[in-house]
Amino acid sequence: MTYPHLPEAGSGDRPASGGQVRQRLAYVRQQEQLLTGLRGFRREVAARTCARLRRETRLQLQAMRQLLHALCG
């Protein structure tokens, strides 16, 4: 699923920049704050989406760290 207002996680041939990852993380945090106002099914869907985006962002950061370690280490 794509979100037009959210920068892409990076295509298969190029990693996302650090700024893009930070922007994605800020978006996820903002969405998590909005969860308090939702109820029932909408809240559950939003919570799952936030969890998935957070997991994807965490994996991106891990890949970026490994790449930097390989290049600079």
pLDDT in tens, 8-49: 555 555 556 778 888 888 888 888 888 878 889 888 888 899
Per-residue pLDDT at 4 exceeds 70 = no
Q: If you search the block for the tokens 């298969």, which residue do you land on? A: 12
Q: How far is CA 20 from the centre of its chain?
A: 9
Task: For helices 18-34 and 40-72, give the axis angle rounded to 10 degrees.
Answer: 160
- What average pLDDT score do residues 46-56 get? 90
CA-based angle 72:70:20, to the nearest 5? 85
More confident residue, 59 or 4: 59
Q: What integer pLDDT is reported at residue 52 of this predicted model? A: 92
